[in-house]
Amino acid sequence: VLNLPLLTHGSWGDGSSTTSVFDMASSSESRPYLLLVPQANLISKVKSQGKSIQYHGQIDKEVGKQLYADFLNYVRALLLEHQCATLKQPVPKWVTSVLDTKKTIDASVPPDEMFQDNSVYSEWDDDGIPTKDSNEQDLTKSAIKKLRKQRESQKKRYDKFLNTTVTNKPKSETADWSLLNPASCTVVGGTFGARQGLEICSDMGPFCHVV
């Protein structure tokens, strides 16, 4: 989304070369706005010969809300990282943490609860190990074995967490999104779980890119 050359400085069709949000954010010529709107209809299915729509593929609302918030923060973190690189400034540690897509489950999560996600699994054994996926299909023995190993690893981390005193726990940096210069790029997040009107007036077009 940020790297794709979808934007132009001139009028649509005048031969102006296209540029990306990253490139435009680095330029003093313009100030890009990035509007991100959650769309439930992306997973909808048209039924009854186009007379009805089903949304059975949606995940839990609270999970979706958190994922949407994480996505917004990820985009902002990418822009802040790009801003720091452009200005040759050090990237804050908390930004690197936001961009870490290989995060392990927090040590404070009990091992019995680490797989309690109805959007991924539908049945668990007494130890909290999933036995069926969200479509109620049995998981393979190898998949269950892998999940059991992950649980054992989480149990060790959780036990260590319980034995660590509060005073010895390291303090984490608080995210400070005010560091993202609005003159460089402004990210606007649409409202999650509600209808929202949108009117766009421009002579540059196209009005929308679906990635």
pLDDT along the chain (211 residues), means of 10: 81 76 82 80 75 74 80 92 91 88 74 83 90 88 91 89 62 78 85 68 55 46
Question: According to the model, what pLDDT value does residue 84 have?
Answer: 92
Measured at the CA of 131, the angle between CA 125 and CA 136, to 5 degrees, comes to: 125
Q: How far apart are CA 78 and CA 96, in angstroms?
A: 9
Look at residue 27 in the predicted model and tell me its pLDDT. 80
Task: Give pLDDT, residue 171.
Answer: 54
Burial of 195 (0-12, 13-18, 19+ CB in 10 A): exposed
pLDDT attached to residue 152 = 92
Which residue in the block uniquely carries the two structure tokens 């509060």?
166
Question: Is this structure's pTM higher than 0.85?
Answer: no
Q: Which long-range contacts (CB under 8 A, 24 or more apart) does 68-73 make?
A: 68/38, 68/189, 68/192, 69/192, 71/36, 72/36, 72/187, 72/189, 73/98, 73/175, 73/177
pLDDT for res 51? 81
For residue 146, give the 3-state DSSP assignment.
helix
The confidence score (pLDDT) of residue 195 equals: 66
